[in-house]
Structure 1
């Protein structure tokens, strides 16, 4: 009986810790987004294509560029239209929303499993006790 109770406490504690971690990351990320969304200069996206080489999509005010950066060099490759910038930002925001939805589904499944395990342990203890 005590082993079951200890296991139940462990499962509940783990659930609480994971939930607190999730909430911390969620609120911290929202704060960072609010600060970075007010910037005049934004790096919309960055992709590493080599050891020291990255491609960037940069927005300055209403203008945007695709740029390449390496150890000692930054080069503007292409200028983007306002429509292209808006489309890129829209797609990036959609990906973020999809990821949030995915994490929400995982969180719901995890909480359901924890609840099921806790109920089974409690029922087993009541049966034995």
Structure 2
């Protein structure tokens, strides 16, 4: 086998994982920053993925907020949020876009724990 073949093979082995990593990173960033377009009556404030097919969401419809679960087979309201909880979720959602995911997901997780204890 000639040198050109080995050179091409080495380039493939170096650049293919790099390109796959960039595609993966782009997918993560795209999902991270998309919740819902602004200015609509209904708005998904936060979304926490539990598995491939299931999510827990904080949704604002008009002035009311709801904690909802969503999966392929079923969507259900878990709890109607108080104005204070909805405001806190919106503030955490804004922090999420500016900093990191942990602040946002912790709010939803804490809401679930508080609701479960009752």
List alignment gaps of at least 5 residues for structure 1. 1-28, 100-129
Structure 2 counterparts to residues 50-89 of structure 1, below 5 A: 50-89=51-90
Tell me the distance in 1 between the aligned counterparts of 2:97 and 2:52.
26
- CA deviation map 1:18-74 (0-9, x unaligned): xxxxxxxxxxx8xx99x9221110011111112321111110000011111111210
| Equivalent residue, structure 2, for 1:17 | none
In the alignment, the residues of structure 2 paired with residue 76 and residue 57 of structure 1 have an alpha-carbon distance, to the nearest angstrom, of: 10
Residue matched to 1:107: none
| CA gap 1:51/1:61 in 2 versus in 1, 3 angstroms | same
Output the CA distance in 2 between the equivalents of 1:52 and 1:95: 22
TM-score (norm 1): 0.46
State whether structure 2 residue 49 is matched by structure 1 residue 45. no
- Structure number with higher relative contact order (C-alpha < 8 Å, ≥ 6 residues apart): 1
Give 3-state SS (helix, strand or coil) of 1:59's partner. strand
- Looking at secondary structure, tell me which structure has more helix per residue: 1
Superposition RMSD in Å = 2.4
Q: Which runs of 5+ in 2 are unaligned?
A: 1-32, 101-118
In structure 1, C-alpha distance between the alignment counterparts of 2:96 and 2:46, rounded to whole Å: 12
Q: Aligned residue pairs: how many?
A: 68
Please identify the structure whose Cα radius of gyration is greater.
1
Instruction: Give the whole-Å Cα distance in 1 for the aligned partners of 2:63 and 2:56.
Output: 20
Stretches (4+) displaced over 6 A: none
**TM-score (structure 2 length as normaliser):** 0.50
Instruction: Tell me which residue corresponds to 2:93.
Output: 92
